[in-house]
Amino acid sequence: MFLAQLPLKGCHSERSEESRSAHRNSKQGKIPRFARNDSLRCRRFAFMVLKDKFGREIHDLRISVTDRCNFSCVYCKSADPKNYFPHGDLLSWDEFLRLSRVLAGLGIRKVRITGGEPLLRPGVVDFITQLRQIDGLEDVAITTNGYLLPEMAAKLAAAGSPRVTVSLDSLDSAKSARITRTPRSLEKVMAGLDAALEAGLKPVKVNIVLVRGFNDDEIVDFARLARKRDIILRFIEFMPLDADHTWKRELVVTAREIVAAINPVYPLIEIPRHSPSETALRYRFADGQGEIGIIAPVSIPFCGRCSRIRLTADGKLRTCLFSMEEFDVRHLVRNGATDSDIGRFVTAAVYQKESGHRINEPDFVQPDRTMVYIGG
């Protein structure tokens, strides 16, 4: 039996005039202060654990709030994209909040806000403030390219988003501009890191996608940065999700290679993951000065412990980063579905979650959506 539990007796989800006003206002990037549990009037779904057919518990949600980005990184986005979603196709803040409440009632405990570049969308700070008020959500974090952090770090801290992850591509200004296809990107990102630390956004994590021939010669320099600054640095293997379809296995810098590059200079000691479903292999420097992580979906897949689902900016539920099928929850939200209808739909979709991403299988096919349209 894998259908979602129904709401407690008497629950209903008719939208009030206040909620309809919220929808109108959200088009302008505003999030009105409507009742905290407007869509679940008798508190929330009875507690349950969302599981797939392999018995994996699903408690992490990635929400992509926009497909727009001010970078055009070679490992993610086309140099000249022309296919942004129309604004009306994107979920409104009100719709994101309603779905977040339903998913929290189904057992989601952690939410990470992604994009595109999430800080580009007006209203994102207010959205985070309201996410933090949803019963059952224990952790809300955001991933950003850091470009707008100098102006927004203090606002994020005030909104209650203590965890931030910043993408970094190179410590060389010219190389960073070449990878991101954005002038002076390194200077803005480093200023963003400073602003995040000054605002008290801890822990600050830095993600680095390594691509052979682009930035793999900087591995030790990146490790040195982790030792100097109060950050947790994480290397990520290049995945076949780039818009230009240039991914080749030879471009992947593997976890083994990363450790082999750092260890002779700064000896590493592997340490336990925070939880079995954590994506990163964790290492501390032997002298105790800092920590790094390695996310290795290509060379050391972690699919068997996956606890994540993704909600795209245009309202599609994806059970895997590499899913070939997605589930349209926007249609339900905009066509009169109750919260229990949505709960059943999501639970049945999650039950069908793939066993793994199949990158290493001979019949692997890259999904039509690229990373910028899925959410990192």
State residue 82's pLDDT score: 55
E-strand spans in 102-202? 110-114, 139-144, 163-167
Question: Residue 202 — pLDDT band, cuts 50, 70, 90?
Answer: confident
Mean pLDDT of 201-218: 94
Are the C-beta atoms of residues 212 and 169 closer than 8 Å to each other?
A: no
Report residue 326: phi and psi, to 5°: -135, 160
Does the pTM exceed 0.95? no
Are the C-beta atoms of residues 68 and 86 closer than 8 Å to each other?
A: no
Question: Residue 80 — pLDDT band, cuts 50, 70, 90?
Answer: low
Return d(Cα 5, Cα 182) in angstroms, integer. 48
E-strand spans in the chain? 50-51, 57-58, 60-64, 110-114, 139-144, 163-167, 204-210, 232-237, 268-271, 281-285, 291-295, 308-311, 316-318, 327-328
In a domain, 196, yes or no: yes
Instruction: Tell which residue, 121, 127, 131, 115, has the closest CA to residue 165.
Output: 115
Mean pLDDT of 131-157: 95
In a domain, 32, yes or no: no
How many CA atoms, within 13 angstroms, populate the side-chain half-sphere of residue 256? 3
In a domain, 171, yes or no: yes
Q: Percentage of the chain surpassing pLDDT 90?
A: 64
Residue 247 confidence (pLDDT) above 80: yes
Return d(Cα 56, Cα 79) in angstroms, integer. 38
Q: Please report, as a single letter, which amino acid is at residue 30.
A: K
Are the C-beta atoms of residues 90 and 314 closer than 8 Å to each other?
A: yes
What DSSP line would sit under 348-360, residue for residue? HHHHT--S---TT
Model confidence over 339-362: pLDDT tens digits? Answer: 999 999 999 999 999 998 988 888
Q: What's 165's domain CATH number?
A: 3.20.20.70
Return d(Cα 103, Cα 121) in angstroms, integer. 22
Average pLDDT, the chain: 85
In a domain, 8, yes or no: no
Residue 17 confidence (pLDDT) above 50: no
In a domain, 284, yes or no: yes
Higher pLDDT pick, 364 / 238: 238
State residue 55's pLDDT score: 96
Return d(Cα 251, Cα 254) in angstroms, integer. 9
Residue 62 confidence (pLDDT) above 90: yes
Q: How many domains does the chain have?
A: 1
In a domain, 43, yes or no: no
Question: Residue 160 — pLDDT band, cuts 50, 70, 90?
Answer: confident
What DSSP line would sit under 216-270, residue for residue? GGGHHHHHHHHHHSS-EEEEEE--S--TT----GGGB--HHHHHHHHTTTS-EEE
Q: Whole domain around residue 306: which residue ranges?
A: 50-374
Residue 6 confidence (pLDDT) above 50: no
In a domain, 262, yes or no: yes
In a domain, 249, yes or no: yes
